[in-house]
Each structure stands twice: as C-alpha cells, then as structure tokens.
Amino acid sequence: MKILKPALTLYALFTLLTGVVYPLGVTLLGSLLFPTQARGDAAWLIGQEFSDPRYFWGRLSATGPTPYNAGASSGSNLGPLNAKIFDAATSRLQALGPARPVPVDLVTASGSGLDPHISPEAARYQVARVASARQMDPAAVQQLVEACIEGRQLGLLGQPRVNVLQLNQALDRDEPEAPAK
C-alpha cells in the first residue's frame, strides 16, 4: 500500500495533465494563434483541381487516381522518363497551347502533389486565356494576379507565389455581372 498510493496518485496526475490539460492548452493556443486552421477552414492550403479555361490552373497533382487527394499525399516515385509523367505534361502543354515557353510549374507536380501555389510567372502566363474565356479586360485580370502574389515568408524564405484557389475566388468576386436579358 505504501508504494501503490504514490503510484496511483502519479498515474491520476499525469493522466489529467497529459490527457486533459495539455490537449486543451494546445487547442486553445492553436485557436488563438491560428484561428482559421484550428477551425479546419484551410482548404486554401491544399491544391484544388481547375480545368475550366475560365480559371487559373495550378500544378499537376501527383496523387492518384483522384487529383489533389490529401489522403494520397506523397511523391509519385516515378522517374523523369516515366510515360505517366510524360503523358500528363504533354496533355497540359496541349491544353495550354504554348505560343511561348511555358513556366515549368504548369507542367510538373510538387513533391506532395498537393501544392496550392504556382509561380507569379505561371499565373501571368495564363492571364490572356482566363481573360478571353471570361470576356474580361486582360489588364483587370493581370491586376488580380499582382494583388494575389504572396511574398517570401518572413521576407527571406521561399519564393514569391500565387495561391491558385484564392486567385480564382478573387476572380469570381471581381468578374462583372452578365447583363440581364
């Protein structure tokens, strides 16, 4: 009994500490520091499939068979000469109709296959197609692209990038209403 009482007391204490206090503390801290992500409202962190010419297209997805499947996130482990990679890149090049060199991130997948970002160059490359499909002024679409460019993290990490989902949402918000018939 002399050994059992302190053991049960420590067991109860650590169960309370690690099973209740710590999870509640982490949840509270996460909610305060990252409210959007803590609510699970972070779809903009995972790439989305866009194939309609009215929208900007993101990188190819390496997840399969369903594109941008977060449950299948990983590298494809396919070599650079694999037919699947070649076919996906060729198909995208044909869809883009390259009249000029295509930014590489429009015909390649990221390591996770879920990257929601493209380079500013890849977004600028698509301005004419999106503006034409939406019958919008290319300068207005270009302004949206420039407004959606995210800088380097902390001013020095990574490269400038554009979140495709956020750009497409901004595009839908700013598209002029069709005249009533």
Strand 149-150 to 117-118 pairing: unpaired
Per the document, the length of the chain is 181
Question: Domain spans of the chain?
Answer: 4-38, 43-174
pTM: 0.72
Rounded alpha-carbon distances, angstroms, from residue 23 to 11, 13, 19, 26? 17, 15, 7, 5
CB 110 within 8 A of CB 59: yes
Residue-level pLDDT at 179: 47
Tell me what percent of the residues of the chain surpass a pLDDT of 70: 90
In this structure, of 17-21, 97-101, 115-119, the range with the lowest mean pLDDT score is 97-101
For residues 10 and 2, give the distance between their C-alpha atoms in angstroms, rounded to a whole number.
13
Q: What is the pLDDT of residues 32-84, one digit of tens each?
A: 988 877 777 667 778 888 989 999 999 988 776 777 777 777 666 777 788 88
